[in-house]
């Protein structure tokens, strides 16, 4: 049995591993994709205290190597099932079931989908959720980017450097992104902004060839001949496997305060997955440290009681 089972090898999970291991606890980290989490695909991180500038990939690798240095056991297995309410917690992956005294859920959040016709069908064949990962494939081509926040606007500017034309499709009449970004967006000649509009359908043969854009004010539809649709409409948690035992808020995030404690003793939520106002690397790292500290205290108390 492990002292600590950590679900997710993003910033929160790997930080929890570092703190847990340095406290002398036995730790297993379960990760369904690659270590590093969301940040792994970001070109530049410039707001992590103490590091002026680093690529997301390097940030993830450094964190991973730091956790490995302290002996972290990292298993690339996706968590499918949990039984967390008893004293011995069980976490099942596609391969096996792990038992632990404590569990730290650090599974982050995922990119939100559009839900329009053709999105699933062309996912990975012209529909992308990461402009910085896939933008280079669209050099000289015409693409759509959907969204109105900082990520969407940054992605549009990034794509405009390589693509012939970029259509920004935004459901409102003004952007949520910071003004400096919006000003840059409006100044670019190869960016066309479609306000009050949504993507209604994505179509093509082998890969994306067309998108139908619907104007929500006058209900008119416009067909665009494009090669790619980039989706940047925000994040959503995926906590469905926990909802039978762990309290979630109305948006599906795990209810846990600054001490990262959930409603179940010995179970903690760290990083983007929990209810919080700021989802960033620095808050994810802070949560990882706090959750591991609280888990260590819980184990000590259990030992005193036993
Ligand atoms: C494009 C982009 C740019 C960003 N830029 C910045 C920035 O410049 N500065 C900044 O501070 N923040 C930035 N952020 C936000 C930052 O990346 C997140 O706040 C941070 O990654 C949250 O860390 P986390 O560990 O909570 O979650 P995540 O990074 O999401 O990691 C969660 C991990 O859990 C894994 N996982 C999920 N479900 C399971 C499962 N069932 N089983 C096993 N593993 C699972 C996932 O694969 C993932 O690796 C950016 C985010 C994005 C998307």
Structure confidence by residue, pLDDT tens digits, 182-193: 999 999 999 999
**Has 116 been annotated as catalytic?**
no
Gap between the Cα atoms of 253 and 274, Å rounded:
5
* Ligand 1 atom with minimal separation from the 270 CA: 26
Q: Which parts of the chain are beta strand (E)?
A: 2-7, 27-30, 73-75, 79-83, 89-93, 97-105, 110-111, 127-128, 142-146, 165-169, 191-194, 197-204, 208-215, 221-225, 228-231, 235-236, 267-269
pLDDT of residue 305 exceeding 80, the answer is no
Q: Mean of the pLDDT values across residues 205-216?
A: 97
Residues 181/157, Cβ–Cβ less than 8 Å: yes
| Residue 61 pLDDT | 96
Distance from the alpha carbon of residue 288 to the mean position of ligand 1, in angstroms: 12
At 124, the pLDDT band (50, 70, 90 cuts) reads: confident
Residues forming a β-bridge with 166:
143, 191
* Ligand 1 atom with minimal separation from the 77 CA: 43
At 58, the pLDDT band (50, 70, 90 cuts) reads: very high
**Has 260 been annotated as catalytic?**
no
State what percent of residues in the chain have pLDDT above 90: 85
Mean pLDDT rounded to a whole number for the chain: 95
| Residue 137 pLDDT | 87
Distance from the alpha carbon of residue 133 to the mean position of ligand 1, in angstroms: 15
**Has 183 been annotated as catalytic?**
no
State what percent of residues in the chain have pLDDT above 70: 98
How many CB atoms sit inside 10 A of residue 223's CB?
A: 12
pLDDT of residue 306 exceeding 70, the answer is no
Give the three-class secondary structure for 85: coil
User: Is 227 a pocket residue for ligand 1 (Cβ < 6 Å)?
Assistant: no
Q: Which two tokens stand for residue 304?
A: 């005193």
Integer-rounded Cα Rg, in Å, for the chain is: 21
β-strand pairing of 208-215 with 110-111? unpaired
Q: What is the pTM of this model?
A: 0.79
Q: Mean of the pLDDT values across residues 42-48?
A: 81
Q: Mean of the pLDDT values across residues 153-179?
A: 95
User: Is 148 a pocket residue for ligand 1 (Cβ < 6 Å)?
Assistant: no
| Residue 151 pLDDT | 86
Q: Mean of the pLDDT values across residues 118-144?
A: 90
Please tell me the residue having the least CA distance from ligand 1 atom 35.
8
Predicted confidence (pLDDT) per residue in 62-88, tens digit: 999 999 999 999 999 999 999 999 999
User: Is 93 a pocket residue for ligand 1 (Cβ < 6 Å)?
Assistant: no
Distance from the alpha carbon of residue 35 to the mean position of ligand 1, in angstroms: 10
pLDDT of residue 145 exceeding 80, the answer is yes
User: Is 279 a pocket residue for ligand 1 (Cβ < 6 Å)?
Assistant: yes
Please tell me the residue having the least CA distance from ligand 1 atom 37.
107
Set 3, 116, 134, 272: catalytic member: 134
With the most atoms of ligand 1 within 8 angstroms of its CB, the residue from 28, 34, 39 to mutate is 39
At 279, the pLDDT band (50, 70, 90 cuts) reads: confident
Phi, psi of 135 (to 5 degrees): -55, -35
Q: Mean of the pLDDT values across residues 139-150?
A: 96
With a CB cutoff of 8 Å and minimum separation 6, the contacts of 263 are: 246, 247, 255
Q: Which two tokens stand for residue 202?
A: 């994505």
User: Is 94 a pocket residue for ligand 1 (Cβ < 6 Å)?
Assistant: no
Phi-psi domain of 219 (left: phi exceeds 0; alpha: psi -120 through 50; beta: other) = left
């Amino acid at each position: 049995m492990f002292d600590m089972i950590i679900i997710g090898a993003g910033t929160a999970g790997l930080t929890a591993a570092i703190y847990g291991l340095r406290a002398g606890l036995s730790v297993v980290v379960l990760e369904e994709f690659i270590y590093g989490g969301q940040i792994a695909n970001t070109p530049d991180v410039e707001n992590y205290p103490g590091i002026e500038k680093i690529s997301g990939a390097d940030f993830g690798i450094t964190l991973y190597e730091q956790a490995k240095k302290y002996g972290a056991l990292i298993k690339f297995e996706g968590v499918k099932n949990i039984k967390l309410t008893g004293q011995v917690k069980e976490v099942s992956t596609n391969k096996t079931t792990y038992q632990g005294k404590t569990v730290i859920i650090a599974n982050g959040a995922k990119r939100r989908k559009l839900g329009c016709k053709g999105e699933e069908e062309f996912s990975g064949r012209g529909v992308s959720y990461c402009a910085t990962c896939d933008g280079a494939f669209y050099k000289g081509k015409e693409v759509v980017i959907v969204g109105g926040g900082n990520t969407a606007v940054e992605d549009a500017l990034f794509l405009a450097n390589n693509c012939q034309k970029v259509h920004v499709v935004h459901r409102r009449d003004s952007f949520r992104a910071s003004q400096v970004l919006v000003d840059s967006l409006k100044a670019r000649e190869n960016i066309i902004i479609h306000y009050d509009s949504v993507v209604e359908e994505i179509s093509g043969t082998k890969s994306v060839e067309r998108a139908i854009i619907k104007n929500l004010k006058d209900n008119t539809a416009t067909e665009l001949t494009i090669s790619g649709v980039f989706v940047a409409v925000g994040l959503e948690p995926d906590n469905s496997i926990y909802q039978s035992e762990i309290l979630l808020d109305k948006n599906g995030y795990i209810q846990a305060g600054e001490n990262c404690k959930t409603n179940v003793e010995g179970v903690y939520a760290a990083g983007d997955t929990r209810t919080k106002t700021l989802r960033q690397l620095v808050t994810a790292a802070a949560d990882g440290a706090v959750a591991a500290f609280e888990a260590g205290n819980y184990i000590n108390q259990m030992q005193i009681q036993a």
